[in-house]
Structure 1
């Protein structure tokens, strides 16, 4: 590249570069508006085959050519294609995944974060970014109910937060038992095997975290639960009392708002069990934590401040674009396990002078400042504003559940706790319900009518069953629009029944 082409390529705060960026942003926004105006549903029709064929056509030329073309043209071509086959997360029929329609101010803040390219790992990589995240963590720790000694970090999401919790809990347990963290010794040197206690229906990141932490999936002990899937405190106490001496309990992992039903484990009683046995208590509130903003729903989470650590995701109930996860600890000193490795990023002389980055609070080094988009959203809406949106989604779920309950061809799994509605279609003729509902879901997605989730849950008498799920995270969705989604489910089910009968 010549010097002039490099100047045009690299984003700077120079007025010419800013003018160029403004032109590109205007072009991109125009492409997004054009793609949105041509939609008839949450995604184009045709399913995976159509999406693959479209990509084959648009991406026929290599993404890494020997000689590049014009960067502006590459941007427009790929953004147009990206937007065309993107799922419209603001569409009322996009009810499959925990993808909220992001706040406009958060989207704008994300542009600033990308343009200035600060990093959180060292003070000199982003001075204000570092201070902003520290204060954001303090405010959200206060929302949970933690005191001034709390700590934490912004993460890439709930899975990473849960894995961090497991790593810290492991090191805390080893330090208490052996006087030295497993960060240094590893888990094999102690002669005991670490184990984690949780119910059957916790998030899949528990298994992944157990693998990463050296515990292994065989080191996960499932605690019996009640009929709703909530951990039974007495059973947790019994399991801990009966553990053999060669097993070291490192964590009680509880759910504060399950992704399927929204239920919350009995936090106060489990906290007592954890304290009695000296076991780290972690509460996964990645989805449910948004209810902490709501005066009406917050009582469901009484006792969450008794947990040693908490996971939150504000790219779910928070209306912040991904990633916007948070890992919070009741005592910031617990994060010292992550900072045990001394590097130039946490050198003692820099720390003594206040040049302290965020490397020691995270399992990442280079990390973008996701705190900015979270901060502008929270400051702009306030706790009451976010709480009102959470409550709107909750009311929408209650409306949807009532509609499902009135339909003879639909079966409601349970009354919603937060903002999920689980149900399934009941064909008139006897058939395999799991296969029928799985096919029904794919048909709706292939036709571009609705993006529904599918969950597989235990049957009361044994085995597992397929249910469809409406994940309602758009407070702007009207009841009539949700009615239309359910109408489309009923119509598609009737067509499947007719096809099977012919």
Structure 2
């Protein structure tokens, strides 16, 4: 059978015609030029442009012109307005969030993914892609020492994975303990009594998931943490006793392998024991710390994770993948039945009977990108050993950075022995403020230091609060960031703090960045 396409549209869609492929090459080359000139070559982690100014510049954009225009012209405008004023995640002084520089191999994969545009919900939309994702999930299950009954699915990241973990936990508990089918009948009368336990430092998506699942945020019972910000098993026991006395129903225990602020890893073996004793679903949020499984030197920190009923792991953090890319793993693949539905047009029951794999039954998404390909190409290109070496290097840099901070009288180390690569600290006021207490003055200084460094484009540093006190944080994900780069950032923190103290926080001199990450000049 011969099918004729409309040649008038060949220059708009990728296909086998010469004009299509020529146009595609030109477009990709133009995009590469914009990225190279306007983004990859950025000398600062951020331009420092104010919200108002950038808003004004972009206000004139005609989002949908009546007639189209030259693609190169539009790309050039994207370069000027967007790329030039984006956060440079590859810059050593971009160290605020769990926001990684992506590997070149994964960027190449993104081009392939977008061109093929496979949809990961059904076999007939993604045949080879379905099999590769399945193989990648099998590899991940093996990496976390899951048995042959385990299954999983790629997700948009930890938020979706945590939601899926608690969704399956809720449905499993209600079905097995309350003899109730949520899919068929909705929420049971006992819903108000269900409880989720997690560390007080667990990711906010535990509460968000509880809200989305109809439990409410009050269903989450926060457990106190120890001095290293890990869940206290003693307080967990106290809370479990209290819940039992109140006839409440703890159905899920969430352990964290890498808290957002401190990178702390909860005592997973003890949590697994408590979960088994209380017949609770044990979910481990390893979105941050899961990458330690690649390292022979550090994987022991994840001991006990193989006992989890489900695991969240992100690849757009320490696996250096472009956003978004994560996975959700379940120790017993049959648990996915709690969310599986069949649609005649998509994944009919006959397909399952014939063994045709349709991944939509394991996801709360329908249309999904072929994100497994970028992780696959990255693993192929680097290999496990080099991946592990990069991760280990960032942990070492964080350890050395914490030592620098602890030894500096102008700074205060909040976690002098970081478990991963997040380093929390404060600037110490060197002189008092006549109208503020020491604590209030310290809080103001640290808040202003962070904002000034961002507005001057010198460094992108995170802010957080520890026991109510404003603090700064370096998240040292970037393997290219050296201790010299960290020293340069800390020096800027101190110099900015000094200037603020001299003006009592009322005004500072403008600082212009003039060179590499360790070369700054101050202008009055």
| Fold agreement, TM-score > 0.5 | yes
RMSD over aligned Cα atoms: 2.0
Preserved contact between residue 166 and residue 209 of structure 1 (Cα < 8 Å): yes
Aligned in 2, Cα 1:192/1:37: closer, same or farther, shift over 3 Å? Answer: closer
2:203 maps to: 203
The yes-or-no answer on 1:55 pairing with 2:64 is no
1:231 maps to: 231
Preserved contact between residue 200 and residue 231 of structure 2 (Cα < 8 Å): no
| 1:243 match: secondary structure | helix
2:500 maps to: 496
Deviation by residue 1:78-122 (Cα, 9 ceiling, x = unmatched): 244321111111100000111111110100101111011100001
Matches within 5 A, 1:128-207: 128-190=128-190, 193-207=193-207
Task: Compute the displacement of 1:179 (Å).
Answer: 2.8
Distance in 1 separating the partners of 2:50 and 2:172: 48
Preserved contact between residue 286 and residue 312 of structure 1 (Cα < 8 Å): yes
Distance in 2 separating the partners of 1:465 and 1:169: 35
Distance in 2 separating the partners of 1:473 and 1:13: 41
* TM-score normalised by the chain length of structure 2: 0.90
Aligned in 2, Cα 1:155/1:13: closer, same or farther, shift over 3 Å? Answer: farther
Preserved contact between residue 284 and residue 312 of structure 1 (Cα < 8 Å): yes
The yes-or-no answer on 1:450 pairing with 2:452 is no
Distance in 1 separating the partners of 2:238 and 2:305: 22
1:436 maps to: 445
Preserved contact between residue 136 and residue 371 of structure 1 (Cα < 8 Å): yes
Distance in 1 separating the partners of 2:198 and 2:505: 45
1:19 maps to: 22
2:93 maps to: 93
Deviation by residue 1:436-468 (Cα, 9 ceiling, x = unmatched): 10111000000000000011122xxxxx11110
The yes-or-no answer on 1:276 pairing with 2:265 is no
| 1:466 match: secondary structure | strand
Judge which range, 358-367 or 40-49, deviates more: 40-49
The yes-or-no answer on 1:326 pairing with 2:327 is yes
The yes-or-no answer on 1:475 pairing with 2:479 is yes
Distance in 2 separating the partners of 1:378 and 1:123: 24
Task: Compute the displacement of 1:239 (Å).
Answer: 2.7
Preserved contact between residue 155 and residue 324 of structure 1 (Cα < 8 Å): yes
* TM-score normalised by the chain length of structure 1: 0.94
Distance in 2 separating the partners of 1:37 and 1:278: 51
Preserved contact between residue 393 and residue 479 of structure 2 (Cα < 8 Å): yes
2:421 maps to: 419
Preserved contact between residue 342 and residue 348 of structure 2 (Cα < 8 Å): no
The yes-or-no answer on 1:466 pairing with 2:467 is no
Task: Compute the displacement of 1:261 (Å).
Answer: 1.3
Structure 1 unaligned regions, length at least 5: 459-463
1:461 maps to: none
Distance in 1 separating the partners of 2:494 and 2:175: 57
| 1:500 match: secondary structure | coil
Distance in 1 separating the partners of 2:224 and 2:108: 46
Preserved contact between residue 121 and residue 359 of structure 1 (Cα < 8 Å): yes
Judge which range, 40-49 or 122-131, deviates more: 40-49
Task: Compute the displacement of 1:181 (Å).
Answer: 3.1
Distance in 2 separating the partners of 1:225 and 1:479: 30
The yes-or-no answer on 1:243 pairing with 2:270 is no
Matches within 5 A, 1:306-385: 306-340=307-341, 342-385=343-386
Distance in 2 separating the partners of 1:238 and 1:276: 14
Aligned in 2, Cα 1:494/1:335: closer, same or farther, shift over 3 Å? Answer: same
Preserved contact between residue 202 and residue 258 of structure 1 (Cα < 8 Å): yes
Preserved contact between residue 27 and residue 71 of structure 2 (Cα < 8 Å): no
Judge which range, 190-199 or 116-125, deviates more: 190-199
Distance in 2 separating the partners of 1:276 and 1:100: 39
2:266 maps to: 265
| 2:463 match: secondary structure | strand
Preserved contact between residue 120 and residue 369 of structure 1 (Cα < 8 Å): yes
Deviation by residue 1:322-369 (Cα, 9 ceiling, x = unmatched): 111111111111111121455543311112223222101110000110
| 1:411 match: secondary structure | strand
Judge which range, 77-86 or 251-260, deviates more: 77-86
Distance in 2 separating the partners of 1:376 and 1:369: 12
Distance in 1 separating the partners of 2:47 and 2:79: 16
Aligned in 2, Cα 1:300/1:9: closer, same or farther, shift over 3 Å? Answer: same
1:30 maps to: 33
Preserved contact between residue 414 and residue 424 of structure 2 (Cα < 8 Å): yes
2:125 maps to: 125
Deviation by residue 1:170-197 (Cα, 9 ceiling, x = unmatched): 0010011133332322224446522111
Distance in 1 separating the partners of 2:123 and 2:307: 32
Q: How many residues align?
A: 493
Deviation by residue 1:391-439 (Cα, 9 ceiling, x = unmatched): 0100111121122122211100012111011111011123421221011
Preserved contact between residue 309 and residue 328 of structure 1 (Cα < 8 Å): yes
Preserved contact between residue 154 and residue 325 of structure 1 (Cα < 8 Å): yes
Distance in 1 separating the partners of 2:119 and 2:318: 25
The yes-or-no answer on 1:219 pairing with 2:235 is no
Judge which range, 16-25 or 167-176, deviates more: 16-25
Aligned in 2, Cα 1:314/1:231: closer, same or farther, shift over 3 Å? Answer: same
Task: Compute the displacement of 1:4 (Å).
Answer: 5.1
| 1:202 match: secondary structure | coil
Preserved contact between residue 233 and residue 270 of structure 1 (Cα < 8 Å): yes
